[in-house]
Homo-oligomer: A and B are copies of this chain.
């Protein structure tokens, strides 16, 4: 039996997601919020939000950004205003599942109240690791664009060894940079050393920044402090990949004349197609292999 999936809103990344779902068997797709798309999809149902046959949907896919605090959904390819309400979620069948990129209090609350299964994809480790690849490539692009030296042979310090920090450290090392990684975690420090990189205890970071051309932060906390920035060479560049507002004292960097860039949403900028495919792959995997997650088993 076919699963009826409604994709409600989304940006360039969702074009690839839709393409991938379209090529998957046992799925019937309905698109909402793609009416202004120049090169539309052929053979796909498009409808207005108000005309959706909500009671028959098996799966709802919301944008990566989820909803705002009023339940409104971002529609890049449409002028439709779409607002998700408790009443709307209440009309879904019991076993319907809602995918979103990220969630917020409002969306979590709406789905809790209506007993709807909500899966925030970006909370998953696998999605975060796949997404760290375009993020790291974006950081590479920014490093090449914003310095007058090669990544090869340059002295790179990566702050953080989570899902993004690990990938970034790997990629820069693969390009021949001399990579150090700063983290608190002693297990991670051992792993960093095993990888042939230089481990730095995070609280000692300022002692190492005098020998650093590129400082890349991945920690969503104030770790690139005044002390750390003070010791950087004047032509060093800071790339902050942590979610807004980043972990850098941007004011002090500016004061010292050090270029510091807060990079936002690199996967959607450098590789929307790959970013869409990552989400599609995970959704398809969940639909076919992780049915217990959906409450279907």
Judge whether A188 is part of the interface by a CB distance below 8 angstroms: no
Contact with B along A48-80 (1 / 0, CB 8 A): 000000000000000000000000000000000
Closest chain B residue to A277 by CB distance?
A: B149
Verify A144–B270 contact, CB threshold 8 A.
yes
Query: How many copies, total?
Result: 2
Judge whether A134 is part of the interface by a CB distance below 8 angstroms: yes
Judge whether A138 is part of the interface by a CB distance below 8 angstroms: yes
Verify B147–A144 contact, CB threshold 8 A.
no
Verify B147–A271 contact, CB threshold 8 A.
yes
Judge whether A148 is part of the interface by a CB distance below 8 angstroms: yes
Contact with B along A123-164 (1 / 0, CB 8 A): 000000000011001101100110111111100000000000
Give the residues in chain B near A153, CB-CB below 8 Å.
274
**Residue from B145, B148, B171, B273 in contact with A149 in the complex, judged by beta carbons closer than 8 Å:** B273
Verify B174–A151 contact, CB threshold 8 A.
no
**Cα separation A144 to B266 with both chains bound (whole Å):** 11
Give the residues in chain B near A140, CB-CB below 8 Å.
140-141, 144, 175
Question: What is the CB-to-nearest-CB distance from A135 to chain B, in angstroms, rounded to a whole number?
Answer: 10
Give the residues in chain B near A137, CB-CB below 8 Å.
144, 150-152, 175
**Cα separation A175 to B138 with both chains bound (whole Å):** 12
Judge whether A196 is part of the interface by a CB distance below 8 angstroms: no
Verify A133–B145 contact, CB threshold 8 A.
no
